[in-house]
């Protein structure tokens, strides 16, 4: 069975980032590309896959340094990702993004990606790759994408291939077949959406991944279409996705925390020596994400529906990571 590309990219990223010295191409091939045999066809396939994967890592912000793996001989080229080039600058996130990152940070040790990282490290070490775990500290926790449709859609977006899938709308009794030229994916209020051009409707559309039924099938050659210049998939999703009704929530926020919440709050007052009282307006789903992202620094006072949503999410989270 072929290795999933997402797993291969993660293995390559960990190897290049954790390597104490420049990793040779042969070492990279043995550790991360075991499906490519040492034949003429296998060599060509490996070279193409390695170049694509390096481009993907660079597109994600990784700086790949090329140099000699042997201090005495400079004829063998090696690769690595220097940690000083990988540390992120100060970033600003929207409320739902910050909340999702906060939740991911709290469950990092137990989350799916943490287990996958452990497996990747074990495999690389078994293959003789010298990994320094301390160099991996700059890796940020990742937002989970458990939807089965995520990986095939991501692959189709990268390759610019048409996808076909069955989509279940809440207002329809049965799913309908959709043909889409996917432009990109966005995450909003804890959900993933794919944005693109619907060939049957002849216009921009946005689809929630959890409503995709069955397999996502890609067809046609790579590069079959071009995303319109200047397209902002997040803006398209915000314009097309139905707006969630907003509510006013009363929160207790620990002093010195939740800066973004404080900026948006309608009123801020002192509750006691440790807590402030805030009133914030937002959709219930996105506000629940944001409250969860701040851990025990934010407590919901009202409404009861928001409080119960946060508590149910916490119970589900504890059940997942137990």
**Distance (Å, whole) CA 240 – CA 200:** 17
Q: Is the pTM of this model over 0.85?
A: no
Mean pLDDT along residues 139-158: 72
Task: Answer yes or no: is pLDDT of 180 > 90.
Answer: yes
Does a structural domain hold residue 144?
Answer: no
**Which tops the pLDDT comparison, 258 or 88?**
258
Does a structural domain hold residue 317?
Answer: yes
Q: What percent of the chain has pLDDT over 70?
A: 71
Does a structural domain hold residue 145?
Answer: no
- Among 166-170, 203-207, 216-220, the least confident range: 166-170
**What value, to the nearest 5°, has the Cα angle with vertex 235 and ends 229 and 240?**
110
**Distance (Å, whole) CA 180 – CA 196:** 6
Of 240, 255, 287, the one marking the end of a domain is 240
* CATH number of the domain where residue 182 is located: 2.30.30
Residues of the domain holding 273 = 246-321
24 & 114 share domain: yes
What pLDDT sits at residue 102?
Answer: 45
Of 195, 220, 240, the one marking the end of a domain is 240
186 & 309 share domain: no
Does a structural domain hold residue 259?
Answer: yes
30 & 87 share domain: yes
Of 207, 240, 273, the one marking the end of a domain is 240
- Among 33-42, 87-96, 267-276, 284-293, the least confident range: 87-96
**Distance (Å, whole) CA 306 – CA 285:** 8
């Amino acid at each position: 069975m072929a290795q999933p590309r997402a797993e291969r990219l993660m293995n390559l990223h960990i190897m290049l980032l954790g390597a104490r010295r420049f990793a040779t191409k042969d070492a990279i091939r043995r550790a991360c590309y075991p499906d490519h045999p040492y034949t003429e066809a296998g060599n060509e396939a490996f070279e193409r896959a390695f170049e694509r994967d390096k481009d993907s890592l660079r597109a994600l912000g990784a700086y790949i340094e090329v140099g000699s793996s042997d201090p005495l001989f400079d004829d063998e080229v090696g690769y690595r990702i220097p940690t000083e080039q990988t540390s992120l600058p100060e970033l600003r996130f929207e409320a739902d993004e910050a909340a999702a990152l906060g939740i991911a940070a709290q469950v990092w040790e137990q989350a799916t990606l943490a287990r996958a990282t452990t497996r990747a490290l074990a495999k690389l070490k078994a293959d003789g790759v010298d990994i320094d775990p301390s160099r991996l500290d700059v890796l940020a926790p990742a937002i989970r994408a458990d939807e089965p449709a995520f990986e095939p859609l991501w692959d189709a977006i990268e390759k610019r291939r048409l996808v076909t899938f069955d989509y279940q709308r809440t207002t329809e009794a049965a799913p309908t077949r959709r043909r889409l030229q996917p432009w990109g994916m966005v995450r909003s209020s804890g959900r993933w959406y794919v944005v693109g051009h619907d060939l049957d409707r002849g216009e921009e559309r946005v689809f929630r991944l959890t409503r995709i039924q069955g397999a996502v099938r890609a067809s046609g050659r790579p590069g079959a279409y071009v995303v319109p210049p200047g397209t902002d998939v997040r803006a398209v999703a915000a314009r097309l996705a139905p707006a969630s009704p907003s509510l006013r929530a009363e929160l207790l926020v620990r002093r010195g925390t939740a800066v973004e919440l404080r900026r948006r709050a309608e009123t801020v007052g002192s509750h006691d020596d440790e807590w402030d009282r805030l009133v914030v307006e937002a959709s219930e789903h996105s506000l629940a994400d944001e409250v969860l992202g701040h851990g025990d620094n934010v407590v919901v006072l009202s409404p009861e529906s928001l409080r119960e949503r946060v508590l149910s999410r916490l119970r589900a989270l504890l059940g997942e990571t137990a």
